[in-house]
Structure 1
Amino acid sequence: MAPKFFLTGVTGYIGGSVFARLASTHPEYEITVLLRSVPDGFKEKYPNVKIVKGDFDSADIITAAAENADIVIHAGNSDHVAANAAILAGLSKSKTPTYLLHLSGTGTVADFTSPDFVPGAPNPKIWSDVSDLPTISTFPLSFLHRPVDSKILSAASTLGGGGNIRTAIVAPPAVYGRGSGPRVTQSFAIPFFVEDVQKFGGRTFYIGDGANEAAVAHIDDVAAVFVKLAEIAVAGGEGADWNEKGYYFVPVHQPGITWKSVAAAVGKSLKARGIIKNAEPISVGPEDTDKMIDGSQIGLYIYGSNSKIRADRATTLLGLEAKAPGFFEVLEEDLDDALNDKQRDSAQMRALTGTK
């Protein structure tokens, strides 16, 4: 009997790419997706994929679909508490092993929550998803992603289900590269940065010294972690860590890149395209974050904080590494998409800003 999957976030940037890779790699899987509306051409391209109509507030629909699935991949609004609770409620009813692969992010380890945080200043800390997991698992619930992540890490011990629930959190850093999903295919940070440049007189910018470093991962490498974990789950779960140890950073080419280097590269490209007149980035202060990313403080996180990582669990346990092109190798393509395609992954934005 084919394994039964239930996926959310299929029309988003990350969730859509995970879905597309899973469906193309394993056409033998029985896949059901949650959709608020059906993208044009979806049924024709994926005739064997089942659709349940609803959104992240459709608790009864989500619970029923999760109860009927062997494996759930929740890659939509990762901080939607009610949707996560509905998924866990459905999985907990199963009398056989069930799996949840949940999208989170490295915003949890970003230093903008630290009392010693200086926007734009460097931080030598590199976070490991193995050696630092005891610390990450005890972060306050006020930290980004922690209210939902904490429930998932403890789900097997707190929800019962005969010990059958096995969970894994996949936490990518900022994601770049062209996606492959059925609707949103452009990255997150670069499109917003291009828009924000116009708010600073047509100049690319960094905060403070711009020496802060954050990891970045290609969308294909993110999807690879999800698909690998899905394959292991289908095979019975051996060879992966689950539940309290089921926390995976996504492999990256290097622990971090400075935002100043991003601003310089974007400035050079936009000037060459005739969009701005001066390629040299400028330094702005943290007080200017009200101009960034629709006025949310997420600008301080995206442009000014540090979140360097090392994906020890995915590399040593799953045998994965960063294989897709590097950030600067595909920057021109990401800029093409940002300038020509005005779609945004609104679920990801809501998750970052804590809004509905």
Structure 2
Amino acid sequence: MATKIFLTGATGYIGGETLYQLVEAHPEYELTLLVRNEERGKPVAAAYPKARLVYGSLDSADVIEREAAAADIVIHTADSSDDQPSARAIAKGLAAGHSAERPGYWIHLCGTGILTWYDLAHSRFGEAPLAEQAYDDIGSISEILSLPRDAPHRDVDEIVLGASAAGYPAVRTLIFCPPTIYGRGRGPVNQRSVQVPRIVEYALQRGFAPVQGAGLSEWDNVHIRDVGAFFVRAVAAALDPATRDDPEVFGPRAYFFLENGDRHKWSDVARWVADEAARRGLLPEPAVKTVDDVPSLGTNSRGVASRARKYFGWEPRGPSLKDEIPDAVTVEAERLGKV
């Protein structure tokens, strides 16, 4: 019997890449995709005619509960880190449709924005990371599980963790936390990331690339194709007897970070963008200026992806963030009609 997967976010950047790689690697999977409406679903249906589309928003609890109950694996990527109603619906559906003899697996997309809590709480923007702001997803799991309740995404993570704690072994969860994601996706609708394109857009519209505060804040990063590869491995782990019953892979401690070891300062990214835009004649000069209106570029997010490497053998293969800057500038220049 084919593995049944319920995926939200097929029209999104991460969900679209995940869908692409799942179909490429395992065309035998039986995919059900949640999309907002038929019009939104047309490009998805055209690209993936074998997939089954169901229509509804993240507030469509009846649809989400029904499909989660029927699926072997739920992959939640549609505004998953911050939408409580959809998380509650998935938890309810998995609990209703599964048992210890037939567990339901939930692969939930969060993000390492959760690690920015200290900078946000203390309005500490643009400063270098403190030593205690580095989190290893195995070695620091106790600290990760006890982050403040007002940390970004923490409210939804608690719903996921609660489903695992209350429903285990019938409901088994994995929380996936990527950092800055870059590169062009291969999904049917949105192929554009968020953080780097915003810097490029800012530069092309205002004539300079922004640096928040002192410009010393740091984030990890990972290419979108390495993110998609992680999801493929996570699904395989849910089907593998060697990992599917391991609570370190699917359970209350199963937080998976991702990073390629090539941490960046946001000030460096701004300089790379300014240099490339000036080289193309899109800026009169490679100007970078200190600002105070992009606090998201002033936080620190540092995580070590020990768990993915240990349990999945995952290793990043994508090009570096710096190498992808020329394409990011191209995409934004075309989108803004600058070329």
Normalising by the residue count of structure 1, what TM-score does the alignment of the two structures yield?
Answer: 0.87
Q: Is the 8 A contact 2:18 2:232 kept in 1?
A: yes
Aligned partner of 1:257 in structure 2 is 264
Aligned partner of 2:173 in structure 1 is 167
Q: Is the 8 A contact 1:39 1:182 kept in 2?
A: no
Cα distance per residue 1:240-297 (max 9 Å; x no partner): 611211110013232x21111101110011112222112031222x3xx1xxxxxxxx
Aligned partner of 2:227 in structure 1 is 222
Does residue 306 (structure 1) correspond to residue 309 (structure 2)? The answer is no
Aligned partner of 2:154 in structure 1 is 146
Does residue 84 (structure 1) correspond to residue 87 (structure 2)? The answer is yes
Question: Following superposition of structure 1 onto structure 2, how do residues 243-322 of structure 1 map, counting pairs within 5 Å?
Answer: 243-254=251-262, 256-284=263-291, 286=292, 289=293, 299-301=294-296, 303-322=297-316
> The residue matched to 2:156 in structure 1 has which SS?
helix
Q: Is the 8 A contact 1:214 1:307 kept in 2?
A: yes
Gaps of 5+ in 1: 290-298, 343-356
Q: CA deviation at 1:341?
A: 3.5
Q: CA deviation at 1:88?
A: 0.8
Cα distance per residue 1:145-182 (max 9 Å; x no partner): 10011121231222x3x731110001000110000111
Aligned partner of 2:239 in structure 1 is 234
Q: Say what the alpha-carbon RMSD is for the aligned residues.
A: 1.7
Does residue 210 (structure 1) correspond to residue 210 (structure 2)? The answer is no
Aligned partner of 1:341 in structure 2 is 335
Q: Is the 8 A contact 1:100 1:166 kept in 2?
A: yes
Q: CA deviation at 1:29?
A: 0.5
Moved over 4 A (4+): none
Q: CA deviation at 1:316?
A: 1.5
Q: CA deviation at 1:22?
A: 0.7
Q: CA deviation at 1:41?
A: 4.0
Aligned partner of 2:144 in structure 1 is 136
Residue type at the aligned position of 1:339: A
Aligned partner of 1:193 in structure 2 is 199
Q: CA deviation at 1:119?
A: 1.7
CA change 1:45–1:195 in 2 (3 A) is closer
Q: Is the 8 A contact 1:122 1:306 kept in 2?
A: yes
Aligned partner of 1:353 in structure 2 is none
Does residue 328 (structure 1) correspond to residue 328 (structure 2)? The answer is no
Residue type at the aligned position of 1:190: V
> The residue matched to 2:34 in structure 1 has which SS?
strand
Cα distance per residue 1:73-114 (max 9 Å; x no partner): 001102110001001110001121110000000001014224
2:50 aligned to 36, 48, 52, which one? 48
Q: Is the 8 A contact 2:219 2:264 kept in 1?
A: yes
Aligned partner of 1:352 in structure 2 is none
Distance 2:331 2:149 in 1: 35
Q: Is the 8 A contact 1:186 1:338 kept in 2?
A: no
Aligned partner of 2:120 in structure 1 is 113
- What is the aligned-residue identity percentage? 33
CA change 1:195–1:334 in 2 (3 A) is closer
Distance 2:169 2:310 in 1: 26
Aligned partner of 1:9 in structure 2 is 9
Cα distance per residue 1:186-239 (max 9 Å; x no partner): 11112222232356x411121122111111111111111111010111224156
Q: Is the 8 A contact 1:166 1:243 kept in 2?
A: yes
